[in-house]
Structure 1
Amino acid sequence: MKTIYLLSILLGMGWAMHAQSSSPPNHSISPQFTLSGFIRDADNGETLLYASVQDEATGNGTTTNLYGFYSLTLPAGTRKIIFSYVGYRPSEIEIHLDLDRELNVTLETAGETLQEVVVEARAADEAVQEVRMSRLDVPVTDIKKLPSLLGEPDIIKMVQTLPGVTSAGEGTSSFYVRGGSADQNLILIDEAPVYEVSHFFGLYSVFNSDIIKSAELYKGGIPAKYGGRLSSLLEVTTRDGNSRQLSGSGGIGLLAAKASLEGPIGSEKASFIVSGRRSYADIFMKLSEDLKDNAMSFHDLNAKVSWKPNQNNRLFLAAYSGRDAWNFADNFGIDWGNTTATLRWNHLFSDRLFSNLSLVYSNFDYKLEDSGGVDAFTWKANQ
């Protein structure tokens, strides 16, 4: 009797396990689709870097990359997406997501008074999206508000005020980061290295504030794609130009003048921007009997052309050329200059795959000449 009772229990357990394993699988998981596109300024068509994109219902979000592109995967259905950026009015767009869609958004600048800042703690189980312990976004919009030598706005002077950065001295364009030397800083303009960043031995830097779009300073944890320096990385990106209308600007300082011109090329698919500076101290030196045989001057020129042939491709060609010249009574002279060029191609393979291909050229040359006396010489160097 005990044997029969035990066998009945085992058979019952086996039938229950078979019934459980034979239950149909759960197919209640909803499909997901990808929403992607570019976020731009409504006034001039410039892409907005690190703009925020968030789904109101789920709280899932992302930010645009260095080229203004975003990609966000969400469950199917009607979603309300919130697009926002500091200094711009947020935009809420309702979209029915039943397949992968492309949504390009323009944001308008906000002229409203900022309210108080509310600081809230993050939830303990919130996933870490990005680590930025040693990276700083240089506030480009505040460059012109910072008092500077000779009244010329300068991004290098702004960098020298950031925490962990020390100026090499008043009136210089060199800086030290966390105890490193000035030559251990990697400085890029549109991905091209700049070997000498000063004009007039540091009174001006090579960066024209009228053409700068963004700047990032890495004081540590430098990405692996950059190399050759130990201390820091300063990456400067220039503007693409106004793709909506032709505009220009100019200015006169104590020692130099500058002018800029930007606008569309044909349709709104292409745009350009050109900006140049030139000192005029050498003109006034000729008015002095004691200094008329001497000359000191600098000039630089930035130019960039952007072209968008279709929704999946963008081409950029950026160039910089600058030079300094110092001559003393036709006996002794120093001149140096930088030349850079960048050809960049952005391609969108799919909603989740974005590529950037860049060809970069950079050259720095330095010339020292002494034509007086028996020890006359000329020394040239290129890098």
Structure 2
Amino acid sequence: MKTFFIRHFIPTVLLLCSGKSLAQQKYTISGTIKDKNNGELIIGAAVQIIQNSAFSAVTNEYGFYSISIPEGQYSITCSYIGFEQQQRSITLDKNIRIDWLLDTGQANTLNEVVVSRTKKDKNLSEAQMGMETLNMKKIEKLPVLFGEKDVIKTIQLLPGVKSTGDGSSGFSVRGGAADQNLILLDEAPVYNASHLLGIFSTFNSDALKDASIIKGNSPSQYGGRLSSVMDIKMKDGNNQDYNVSGESVLSAAGSALRGPFRRISLLL
């Protein structure tokens, strides 16, 4: 009887316990990350589980992130360069939403890093090749015609990109034609990106948040063009405080108003 108990009952209990551990339920942590000072969605912010760094996520172009992990108790951190890191402790027994508001109050900034050469395996270690992201603050410092900031003219200074000719805002990427470029503004195609005989582009740099150009191997989600993809994102507006800015150049003068209006934000 004792031998029967050892051979049959104990293995059955062990099998049931292992089956329960293999079928451990997973739940999802998701949410958005914003700048506390103006309510702007933050692109590229990192969210990570401290107990296991393999469970991490980076916010997409809408400031949204999502992580699926087994149930349990965890500590989760949210960080972005120039902002103060935040941490929370959670008990995960269902799908939950955690939204973050990052502040620059006591943020630890990184020291300057000078890059002297490019790694030999950069084209193998990075998933996206031929992609350039423009810094909107640096665009303001570049010398342009009549002093007016222009994102289209700025990308013509990048390697592999050149103007199609004087009096035209079109650009050629690595020998391609101007009509082979796909220009998106908040995911909407822009078919005519210039005005005033091509001297200026249709984009107001004060209203832009992010701009990037893919000069080769465009992801399949874009499609429809042979040469390049230029993806431009507009600012969301300030849903915290009102602020006004303006500028005057040789060709034009203008101002911008940003602020909250009930449950939405304005950008005029």
* 1:118 CA displacement: 9.7
Correspondence for 2:244 among 238, 248, 252: 248
Which residue does the alignment assign to 1:205? 201
* 1:92 CA displacement: 2.2
Which residue does the alignment assign to 1:97? 92
Q: Is the 8 A contact 1:134 1:221 kept in 2?
A: yes
Correspondence for 2:44 among 33, 41, 50: 50
The verdict on how the C-alpha distance between 1:43 and 1:188 changes in structure 2, with shifts beyond 3 A counting, is same
Query: Normalization by structure 2: what TM-score?
Result: 0.81
Cα distance in 1 between the residues matched to 2:134 and 2:214: 10
Amino acid at match of 1:131: A
Give structure 1 stretches of 5+ with no counterpart.
1-15, 120-127, 275-383
1:165-209, CA deviations, whole angstroms, 9 ceiling, x for partnerless residues?
Answer: 223357752221122112211112222222222233333211111
Which residue does the alignment assign to 2:72? 77
1:38-95, CA deviations, whole angstroms, 9 ceiling, x for partnerless residues?
Answer: 1001111111122211112200211112211111112333322221223322222222
* 1:18 CA displacement: 7.9
* 1:262 CA displacement: 2.0
Cα distance in 1 between the residues matched to 2:131 and 2:46: 18
Cα RMSD for the two superposed structures: 2.8
Question: Runs of at least 4 residues of structure 1 off by over 6 A?
Answer: 16-21
The verdict on how the C-alpha distance between 1:161 and 1:81 changes in structure 2, with shifts beyond 3 A counting, is farther
Correspondence for 2:183 among 175, 183, 187: 187
Cα distance in 2 between the residues matched to 1:223 and 1:57: 33
Cα distance in 2 between the residues matched to 1:67 and 1:28: 36
Q: Is the 8 A contact 2:82 2:104 kept in 1?
A: yes
The verdict on how the C-alpha distance between 1:80 and 1:205 changes in structure 2, with shifts beyond 3 A counting, is same
1:306-362, CA deviations, whole angstroms, 9 ceiling, x for partnerless residues?
Answer: xxxxxxxxxxxxxxxxxxxxxxxxxxxxxxxxxxxxxxxxxxxxxxxxxxxxxxxxx
Q: Is the 8 A contact 2:83 2:108 kept in 1?
A: no
**Helix, strand or coil: the match of 1:141?**
helix
Q: Is the 8 A contact 2:75 2:90 kept in 1?
A: yes
Correspondence for 2:33 among 39, 42, 45: 39
Amino acid at match of 1:213: K
Cα distance in 2 between the residues matched to 1:53 and 1:259: 36
Q: Is the 8 A contact 1:56 1:79 kept in 2?
A: yes
The answer to whether structure 1 residue 272 and structure 2 residue 263 are counterparts is: no
Amino acid at match of 1:38: T
Query: Normalization by structure 1: what TM-score?
Result: 0.58
Give structure 2 stretches of 5+ with no counterpart.
1-5, 116-124
1:261-306, CA deviations, whole angstroms, 9 ceiling, x for partnerless residues?
Answer: 222122xx311212xxxxxxxxxxxxxxxxxxxxxxxxxxxxxxxx
* 1:37 CA displacement: 0.5
Amino acid at match of 1:85: Y
Which residue does the alignment assign to 2:143? 147
Cα distance in 2 between the residues matched to 1:17 and 1:179: 75
* 1:113 CA displacement: 5.0
| Alignment map for 1:151-230 (pairs within 5 Å) | 151-169=147-165, 172-230=168-226
Q: Name the % identity.
A: 44
Amino acid at match of 2:33: I
Cα distance in 2 between the residues matched to 1:118 and 1:102: 39
Q: Is the 8 A contact 1:149 1:171 kept in 2?
A: no
Amino acid at match of 2:69: L
Count of paired positions: 248
Cα distance in 2 between the residues matched to 1:19 and 1:163: 72
The answer to whether structure 1 residue 24 and structure 2 residue 15 are counterparts is: yes
Greater CA radius of gyration, 1 or 2? 1
The verdict on how the C-alpha distance between 1:64 and 1:154 changes in structure 2, with shifts beyond 3 A counting, is same
The verdict on how the C-alpha distance between 1:78 and 1:142 changes in structure 2, with shifts beyond 3 A counting, is farther
Amino acid at match of 1:242: N
Ranked by relative contact order (alpha carbons within 8 Å, sequence separation 6 or more), the top structure is 2
* 1:96 CA displacement: 2.4
1:116-175, CA deviations, whole angstroms, 9 ceiling, x for partnerless residues?
Answer: 5499xxxxxxxx8x8211333222232212222221222123322333322335775222
